Amino acid sequence: MFAKRRGLVALACLALIAAAAPVAAETTPVHSQRTVYEVTAADAVARTKVARTGVDVLGMDGDKLTVIAEPSQLRALRSTGLAVKSKGDADEQLAQLGKAEIGTLDFPSGYTGYHNYAETTAELNQTVADHPTLARLQTIGTSYQGRSLYALKISNNPSADQAKPEVLFTCNQHAREHLTVEMCLHIIQRLTDGYATNTAIKALVDSREIWVVPSVNPDGAEYDIAAGTLRGWRKNRQPNSTSTGTDPNRNWGYQWGCCGGSSGTGSSETYRGPSAFSAPETQRVRDFVNSRVVGGVQQIKAHIDWHTYSELILWPYGYTYNDTATGLNADQANAFATLGRQMASRNGYTPQQSSDLYITDGGINDWMWATHKIWSYTFEMYPKSGTGLNGFYPRDTAIAAQVTRNDTAVDLFLGYADCVPRVIGQSC
Ligand code: 0X9
Ligand code: ZN
């Protein structure tokens, strides 16, 4: 009840804000001019050189990175010495994707099958109403703009804290990655609706306590659709000293800002924030995860953070190219890679250590693993490649196939979640 009431209060506040100042303050252009470039970068060192310039890396396919750079970033991008090819104006591409009525705070036509924040909230409440013995909704705190951050718990006795391995799914750290919200909602729907009739699902739910956070960054996600067009927004909506937004996935507190895998410039899409956990959203998820240490033992054993796009499965560490490092030994690296590859063989994604993509510091997986020994993966969903920001906006007709595609990988993950080393024949 408490969680529900807080959700309603937050919604009411948002409705008031929307009524008083209908997105006016939120429509000011924040990007001077964004151009899409294709950069040829054959290895992780080359890709890290690109990421280091602070440009917005959208995706990777083969030896090609798709990035967006503003004019002020172009010199740095060119000075990497890599082949850089212009692919056109990013916002013109976006404008072609569709337009809803200004101020609708909703997806344009072709995208209405995606859940906005109010619809996500309603869906979560409906799940609990339909399955009160399987699902329980709680609020883990609020976003910068005051939206409730929801965690839905799925178990065969959700109001009790059972002595069972716990699993966490987080979605939508990055605002424009709306397909990930659908992934989290699909996981919820499949595990709850399937429980009564599917014995494999029943066995998984009976033996685990499963937490799902469908939107870590609701402010960013709502901003992304608030003008009736799709904006390609990535970060949260917290003002910084020069601009707006912190990249949540550079704001986590393990090796924060250590290694050139994030930006110190407020306008950059990979701005790490003024300090680790400066973003309310990462703080809240951190506090929730910390709160699952019971009797000195972290209950959450495994975690997937969902992103788009490039169809990849990634594991720690992201801050170093080394396969092993402090807190990550060869057996653990082997277990990460083995389960990662097995999951990839089920969904057709490409499995690799996350720094094989490019170095990132302050990412969620490194913190989960280093701080809590949670087996933490990133899944970069559909599509495999895009020609610009459109990669973040597959039409809603793609949702069903792309979330269902991950079912068997998720089942494998849930099956091993009590003891990931079992995948390499070790016990826990
Ligand atoms: O850069 C990110 O935060 C993730 N990619 S995204 O396009 N969704 O923004 C990837 C994070 C994985 N970690 C590393 N590559 N080290
Ligand atoms: Zn992302």
Q: What is the pLDDT of residues 306-341, one digit of tens each?
A: 999 999 999 999 999 999 999 999 999 999 999 999
Q: How far apart are CA 356 and CA 155, in angstroms?
A: 36
Task: Supply angle C-alpha 267, 385, 358, rounded to 5.
Answer: 55
Q: How far is the CA of 279 from the centre of ligand 1 (A)?
A: 17
User: 171, 181 in Cβ contact below 8 A?
Assistant: yes
Closest C-alpha to ligand 1, atom 13 = 354
The token duo for 301 is 């054993």
**Strand ordering across the sheet containing 350-353:** 135-142, 148-154, 209-213, 166-171, 300-308, 375-381, 312-315, 350-353
Establish how many alpha carbons lie within 13 A of residue 17's alpha carbon, considering only the half-sphere containing its beta carbon. Answer: 16
**Rounded distance from Cα 234 to ligand 2 centre (Å):** 8
Q: How many residues does the chain have?
A: 428
Q: Rounded distance, CA 152 to CA 169, Å?
A: 10
Any residues with CB less than 8 A from the CB of 30 and at least 6 apart, and which?
243, 244, 267
Distance 29 CA to ligand 2 centre (A): 22
User: Residue 28 is encoded by which pair of tokens?
Assistant: 């000011």
How far is residue 5 from each of residues 8, 11, 15, measured CA to CA in Å? 5, 10, 15
Q: Domain 35-97 is classified in which CATH homologous superfamily?
A: UreE, C-terminal domain (3.30.70.790)
Ligand 2 center to 153 CA (angstroms)? 23
Amino acid occupying residue 221: A
Q: How far apart are CA 211 and CA 137, in angstroms?
A: 10
According to the model, what pLDDT value does residue 21 have?
Answer: 34
| DSSP assignments along 296-312, one per residue | TEE-EEEEEEEEESS-E
Q: Let me know if 330 is exposed, middle or buried by CB neighbors in 10 A (0-12, 13-18, 19+).
A: exposed
Sign of CA dihedral 320, 321, 325, 328: positive
- Do 35-97 and 7-20+107-424 have the same topology in CATH? no
Beta bridge partners of 170: 213, 305
Q: Among 55, 174, 252, say which to mutate for ligand 1: greatest number of ligand atoms within 8 Å of CB.
A: 174
Pocket of ligand 1 (CB under 6 A): 174, 249, 307, 314, 318, 354-355, 357-358, 360, 363, 378, 380
Which residues are CB-neighbours of 346 under 8 A, at least 6 positions away? 408, 409, 412
Give the C-alpha separation, 123 to 171, whole Å.
Answer: 15
pLDDT of residue 229: 87
**Ligand 2 centroid, distance to 380 Cα (angstroms):** 7
Q: 3-state class of 149 per DSSP?
A: strand
First-residue to last-residue Cα distance in the chain: 37
Task: Considering every ligand atom shown, identify the ligand nearest to the alpha carbon of residue 174 and give its number.
Answer: 2
Show me where the domains of the chain are located: 7-20+107-424, 35-97
Identify the pLDDT of residue 103.
Answer: 63
Task: Find the radius of gyration of the CA atoms of the chain.
Answer: 20
Ligand nearest to the CA of 270: 1
* SS3 assignment, position 85: strand
3-state secondary structure 319-336: CCCCCCECCECHHHHHHH
Kindly state the helix (H) or strand (E) to which residue 181 belongs, with its residue range. Answer: helix 179-193
Distance CA 188, CA 176 (A): 21
* HEC letters along 366-400: HHHHHHHCCEEEEEEECCCCCCCHHHHCCCHHHHH
Measured by CA distance, the residue closest to atom 3 of ligand 1 is 249
Q: State the pTM of this model.
A: 0.91
Q: Which ligand is nearest to the CA of 380?
A: 1
Q: Would you give per-residue pLDDT tens digits along the chain (428 residues)?
A: 333 333 334 444 443 333 333 333 454 455 678 999 999 999 999 999 999 999 999 999 999 999 999 999 999 999 999 999 999 999 888 888 877 666 668 899 999 999 999 999 999 999 999 999 999 999 999 999 999 999 999 999 999 999 999 999 999 999 999 999 999 999 999 999 999 999 999 999 999 999 999 999 999 999 999 988 899 999 999 999 999 999 999 999 999 999 999 999 999 999 999 999 999 999 999 999 999 999 999 999 999 999 999 999 999 999 999 999 999 999 999 999 999 999 999 999 999 999 999 999 999 999 999 999 999 999 999 999 999 999 999 999 999 999 999 999 999 999 999 999 999 999 99
What local confidence, expressed as pLDDT, does residue 98 receive?
A: 76
Among 170, 303, 322, 357, say which to mutate for ligand 1: greatest number of ligand atoms within 8 Å of CB. 357
380 is catalytic: yes
Q: Kindly give the number of the ligand 1 atom that is closest to the alpha carbon of 57.
A: 7
Q: Is the peptide bond before 248 cis (omega within 30 degrees of 0)?
A: no
Residue with tokens 């969902």: 306
CATH fold group of domain 7-20+107-424: Aminopeptidase (3.40.630)
Backbone angles phi, psi at 48, to 5 degrees: -65, -35
Strands (E) located in 234-321: 293-294, 297-298, 300-308, 312-315
Give nearest CA residue, ligand 1 atom 7.
58
Region at 363 (left for phi over 0; alpha for psi -120 to 50; beta for the rest): beta
**Side chain identity, residue 2:** F
C-alpha 61 – ligand 1 centre gap (Å): 14
Which of 310, 360, 367, 377 for a ligand 1 pocket mutation test, highest count of atoms within 8 Å of Cβ?
360
